[in-house]
Amino acid sequence: MRIGGFQKLSLLDYPGKLSAIVFTIGCNFRCPFCYVPHLVLPEVIKKSGEVPVNYVLSYLEKRRNLIDAVVITGGEPTIHNDLPVFIRKLKSMGFLVALETNGSNFGMLRQLIDDKLIDYVEIDIKAPLTFEKYNRAVGNVLTPKIFENVKSSVNLLLKSSIDYEFRTTLVKELHTKDDILEICRSIRGARRYYLQNLKRTGFFVGGKELTSFNEEEIMEILNEGRKIVNVIYRE
């Protein structure tokens, strides 16, 4: 597994727990609004440093009584075949493990849940679950197989007893209010659906300027969306 970043402490990223965050390198999507090009685009990755896996494990080993959880994000962690091995090591140290994923590796996600290797899952739902819209939102790299995987991952969480959240980043160029309401309908019954507005933080993977939603538009989405599912706005 390749690690491109390691945050030693977070109070926010695992609900109610002190966590450390591991950022894996590489992703199979190219979401235009993605703000971590140094973890996604090969030409930018080349110029960025890596954090040795052993360094991360030995740091965590020494802090096992101080930190409750490890959040694994990216990039896309599930493109790494040895992710389960890494997580097993974290579990053997007694950590709770949260996985942030784009849902494209359904087989690995199901196995991790079945093997009780993860305790919390966050899946990004990039757009309504129709091929064309989803493909646009992930930078036109979607294949029918990956799309089926994403839908299967969403359905798996809806039926699973594992704790999870769905979330969407609101981008004017990719979403309308109706798109978000369509997502709400497709995850009816979900425990939590977080909406977050596009944030400007350096440059995006798509290399283009993008637009966030205004307050009034967000309020409208929240008012209507909350009639369908438990929508929460994340600042």
Per-residue x/- mask for ligand SF4, residues 39 to 68, rule CB under 6 A?
-x----------------------------
Binding to ligand SF4 in span 205-224, by CB under 6 A: 205
Does 75 engage in binding with ligand SF4 (CB under 6 A)?
Answer: yes
Q: At residue 168, what are phi and psi to the nearest 5 degrees?
A: -135, 135
Does 34 engage in binding with ligand SF4 (CB under 6 A)?
Answer: yes
- Burial-class residue 28 by CB neighbours within 10 Å (0-12, 13-18, 19+): middle
Does 147 engage in binding with ligand SF4 (CB under 6 A)?
Answer: no
Does 13 engage in binding with ligand SF4 (CB under 6 A)?
Answer: no
Does 167 engage in binding with ligand SF4 (CB under 6 A)?
Answer: no
Does 71 engage in binding with ligand SF4 (CB under 6 A)?
Answer: no
Does 76 engage in binding with ligand SF4 (CB under 6 A)?
Answer: yes
Does 74 engage in binding with ligand SF4 (CB under 6 A)?
Answer: yes
Closer Cβ to ligand SF4, 28 or 230, answer by number: 28
Q: How near is the Cβ of 94 to ligand SF4 at its closest, in Å?
A: 28
Does 27 engage in binding with ligand SF4 (CB under 6 A)?
Answer: yes
- Burial-class residue 94 by CB neighbours within 10 Å (0-12, 13-18, 19+): exposed
Q: Contact positions toward ligand SF4, by CB under 6 A?
A: 27, 29-31, 34, 36, 40, 74-76, 102, 205
